[in-house]
């Protein structure tokens, strides 16, 4: 198909650089390590890699606090290492998407260092500064995601600055035209270097309400205990209308580089409408993802509800669905370890592009960590109420050696290698033809080679027409129709009999497709029997 459109229906494989492979023996993954293991990624049959941040950073939020947008942190290597990575990826047929954390920088960025110096320097308004209230308290009630208020007092300027995340992640002021231009220059730098696109961190957080209006409280039933931002509806700190025009500027830049793409991360209170608005009409982002499926647990009704809500928002949109990433509990745990393949099978049935997270192809469960091992400030600040994100960030499991092949023996990895991951390591699964890894490879190729799965239309099947626990979508492309069904019943669930005529009126000539690693469902005339766990 049209190469510029390669991203539509594509599968992106997310690499968390700190935890992929340590090539230089300091216990932290790096760019050379990634390049070394790109063959593994290519063997999965994915289309692209998405690299979490590897830019200069004090690593307070492990790279999501950027101190230089146009350089590689020495911990990860050099710009030349990155050039070599791109070259190897392209030689293997993999596109390279890199993370861009535009909404905020590190407080160590020279922009912020200058901005905080006084109230009149050239970058004085590049960040969001505001006077205290007469009693000295912060200008409004906005809360930060990783605990506490979204405002920190700076003694030199005698003003507060805004940060939606850590105090060391000050929010850039996108109302300032120079900020918008500076970021476009940063993007151009990487496009010129040969990247194939960007993953935009919290892409709906760029602009804030300059009137600094208080956020309204969240309806009590929607509060997530322990998550400070969920106590209020984030109406004014994020999600401002000005964002759309800026995304159009970004798109215009990307369109200068044929084939360049973008995927936005949508966080906040009500993510599906934003995902629809940001990807509609091919003029803003190419793709976007929300936490709706990332937070899913493999319940048929809940899955249908998310897709149905998104469907209502128009067919002119392009989602990117994911079950796992570096912020959430791994899908093998949230869906259940016995259902790791089933989870990916359901994912592969959906209209949209997909993100897979390193280790998901192995069925790695979430790691259980002791408090002493925690590194993520979110998990540390809010412990024990919030689990934090270290459990999904432990090193990738390559082999059965002490450090799972992630780093040399005798080196301490930055997060422990989880003991239960070692038996699931690549080397083991590689050797077993029917391992999850090999079944996932076949599954991803099935998806990749199927035009109807990659780009076909999608009709959701109403749960009322299905036996309980069965999830189904109909994919179609011209006269080709593929009905995708999965029995998501858990322990104690029974065989489900599906009457196909009722679901796709007028269809005939049914045949059932054997999915990699699963027995083909029993088809008798126009009735199909699905066992729990079967798809
Ligand atoms: O995530 C945004 C975000 O909303 C999550 O961090 C969320 O708040 C958290 O998982 C708790 O539920 C992006 C990045 O993916 C994340 O790693 C960064 O920490 C964050 O932005 C700040 O840049
Ligand atoms: Ca290293």
| Domain final residue, candidates 424, 445, 466 | 445
Task: Give catalytic residue positions.
Answer: 201, 256
Q: How many domains does the chain have?
A: 2
Considering the domain architecture, whether residues 460 and 428 belong to the same structural domain is answered as no
Considering the domain architecture, whether residues 434 and 466 belong to the same structural domain is answered as no
Nearest to 82 by CA among 41, 27, 16, 32: 32
Q: Separation of 532 CA from ligand 1 center, angstroms?
A: 34
Considering the domain architecture, whether residues 479 and 355 belong to the same structural domain is answered as no
- Look at residue 1 in the predicted model and tell me its pLDDT: 44
What is the H or E stretch that residue 100 is in?
strand 95-100
Q: CA-to-CA distance for 229 and 418, rounded, in angstroms? A: 30
From the CA of 199, the nearest ligand is: 1
| Phi, psi dihedral angles at 242 (to 5 degrees) | -60, -20
Whether residue 263 lies inside any domain: the answer is: yes
Considering the domain architecture, whether residues 437 and 462 belong to the same structural domain is answered as no
ipTM: 0.97
Q: What CA–CA distances, in Å, run from 273 to 217, 250, 265, 288?
A: 20, 20, 13, 11
Considering the domain architecture, whether residues 62 and 195 belong to the same structural domain is answered as yes
Considering the domain architecture, whether residues 374 and 472 belong to the same structural domain is answered as no
Q: Is the pTM of this model over 0.90?
A: yes
Nearest atom within ligand 1 for CA of residue 165: 22
Whether residue 210 lies inside any domain: the answer is: yes
What is the H or E stretch that residue 71 is in?
strand 68-72
Q: What CA–CA distances, in Å, run from 289 to 225, 267, 271, 390?
A: 24, 9, 9, 21
Q: Separation of 484 CA from ligand 1 center, angstroms?
A: 32
- Look at residue 184 in the predicted model and tell me its pLDDT: 98
| Domain final residue, candidates 385, 417, 445 | 445
Burial class (CB in 10 A: 0-12, 13-18, 19+), 225: exposed
- Look at residue 2 in the predicted model and tell me its pLDDT: 58
Considering the domain architecture, whether residues 308 and 407 belong to the same structural domain is answered as yes
Considering the domain architecture, whether residues 78 and 188 belong to the same structural domain is answered as yes
From the CA of 74, the nearest ligand is: 2
Whether residue 74 lies inside any domain: the answer is: yes
Whether residue 154 lies inside any domain: the answer is: no
Whether residue 342 lies inside any domain: the answer is: yes
Considering the domain architecture, whether residues 346 and 371 belong to the same structural domain is answered as yes
Q: In 142-296, which ranges are E strands?
A: 151-154, 159-162, 197-200, 261-265, 287-289
Determine if ligand 1 sits within 6 Å of the CB of residue 201: yes
Whether residue 296 lies inside any domain: the answer is: yes
Which is it for the CA torsion 311, 313, 317, 319, positive or negative? negative
| Phi, psi dihedral angles at 260 (to 5 degrees) | -70, 140
User: Which residues are CB-contacts of 215 (< 8 A; sequence separation ≥ 6)?
Assistant: 140, 141, 142, 143, 232, 233, 234, 235, 236, 237
Contact (CB, 8 A) for 498 and 527: yes
Q: CA-to-CA distance for 284 and 2, rounded, in angstroms? A: 20
Determine if ligand 1 sits within 6 Å of the CB of residue 530: no
User: Which residues are CB-contacts of 523 (< 8 A; sequence separation ≥ 6)?
Assistant: 510, 511, 512
| Domain final residue, candidates 416, 445, 474 | 445
Considering the domain architecture, whether residues 309 and 421 belong to the same structural domain is answered as yes
pLDDT averages per 10-residue partition of the chain, 535 residues: 86 99 98 99 98 99 98 98 98 98 98 98 98 98 94 98 98 98 98 98 98 96 84 96 98 98 96 98 97 98 98 95 98 97 98 98 98 96 91 97 96 98 97 96 97 97 96 95 96 94 89 88 92 95
Determine if ligand 1 sits within 6 Å of the CB of residue 64: yes
Nearest atom within ligand 1 for CA of residue 146: 8
Considering the domain architecture, whether residues 474 and 438 belong to the same structural domain is answered as no
Considering the domain architecture, whether residues 254 and 343 belong to the same structural domain is answered as yes
Q: What CA–CA distances, in Å, run from 498 to 125, 194, 349, 408, 481?
A: 61, 49, 18, 52, 17
Whether residue 344 lies inside any domain: the answer is: yes
Residue whose CA lies nearest to ligand 1 atom number 18:
64
Three-class DSSP labels, 392-426: HCCCCCCCCCCCCCCCCCCCCCCCCCCHHHHHHCH
Whether residue 115 lies inside any domain: the answer is: no
Q: CA-to-CA distance for 532 and 530, rounded, in angstroms? A: 7
CATH number at residue 488: 2.60.40.1180
Which is it for the CA torsion 205, 210, 212, 213, positive or negative? negative
CATH number at residue 89: 3.20.20.80
- Find the domain containing 516 and state its range: 456-530
Enter the tokens of residue 431.
Answer: 């050797």
User: Which residues are CB-contacts of 234 (< 8 A; sequence separation ≥ 6)?
Assistant: 215, 268, 269
């Amino acid at each position: 198909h049209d190469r510029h459109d390669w991203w539509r229906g594509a599968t992106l494989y997310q690499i968390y650089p700190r935890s992929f492979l340590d090539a230089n023996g300091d216990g932290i993954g790096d760019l050379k390590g990634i390049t070394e293991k790109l063959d593994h990624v290519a063997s999965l049959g994915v289309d692209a890699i998405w690299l979490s941040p590897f830019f200069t950073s004090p690593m307070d939020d492990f790279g999501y606090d950027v101190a230089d947008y146009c350089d590689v942190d020495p911990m990860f290597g050099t710009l030349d290492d990155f050039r070599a990575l791109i070259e190897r990826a392209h030689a293997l047929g993999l596109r390279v998407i890199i993370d861009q954390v535009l909404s905020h920088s590190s407080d160590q960025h020279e922009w912020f260092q200058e901005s905080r110096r006084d109230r009149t320097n050239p970058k004085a308004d590049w960040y969001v500064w505001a006077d205290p209230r007469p009693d000295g308290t912060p200008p409004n009630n906005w809360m930060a995601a990783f605990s506490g208020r979204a405002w920190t007092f700076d003694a030199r300027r005698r003003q507060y600055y805004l940060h939606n995340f850590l105090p060391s992640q000050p929010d850039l002021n996108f109302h300032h035209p120079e900020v918008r231009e500076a970021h476009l220059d940063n993007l151009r730098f990487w496009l010129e270097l040969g990247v194939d696109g960007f993953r935009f961190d919290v892409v709906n957080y760029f602009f804030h309400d300059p009137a600094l209006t208080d956020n309204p409280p969240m309806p009590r039933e929607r509060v997530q205990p322990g998550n400070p931002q969920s106590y209020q509806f984030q109406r004014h700190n994020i999600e401002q209308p000005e964002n759309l025009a800026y995304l159009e500027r970004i798109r215009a830049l990307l369109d200068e580089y044929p084939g360049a793409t973008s995927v936005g991360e949508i966080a906040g209170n009500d993510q599906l409408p934003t995902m629809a608005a940001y990807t509609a009409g091919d003029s803003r982002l190419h793709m976007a993802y929300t936490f709706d499926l990332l937070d899913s647990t493999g319940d048929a009704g809940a899955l249908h509800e998310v897709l149905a809500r998104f469907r209502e928002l128009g067919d002119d949109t392009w989602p990117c669905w994911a079950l796992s990433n570096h912020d959430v509990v791994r899908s093998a745990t949230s869906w259940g370890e016995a259902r790791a393949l089933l989870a990916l099978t359901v994912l592969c049935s959906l209209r949209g592009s997909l993100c897979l997270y390193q280790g998901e192809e192995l069925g790695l469960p979430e790691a259980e960590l002791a408090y002493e091992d925690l590194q993520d400030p979110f998990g540390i600040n809010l412990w024990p109420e919030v689990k934090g994100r270290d459990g999904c960030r432990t090193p990738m499991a390559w082999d059965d050696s002490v450090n799972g092949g992630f780093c040399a023996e005798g080196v301490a990895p930055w997060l422990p290698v989880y003991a239960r991951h070692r038996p699931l390591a690549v080397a083991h699964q590689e050797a077993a033809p029917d391992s999850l890894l090999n079944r996932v490879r076949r599954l991803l190729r099935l998806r990749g080679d199927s035009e109807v799965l990659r780009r076909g239309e999608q009709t959701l099947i109403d749960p009322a027409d299905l036996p309980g626990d069965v999830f189904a979508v109909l994919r179609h492309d011209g006269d080709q129709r593929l009905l995708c069904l999965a029995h998501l019943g858990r322990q104690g669930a029974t065989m489900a009999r599906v009457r196909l005529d009722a679901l796709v009126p007028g269809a005939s000539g049914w045949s059932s497709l054997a999915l990699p690693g699963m027995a083909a469902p029993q088809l008798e005339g126009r009735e199909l029997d699905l066992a729990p766990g079967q798809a």
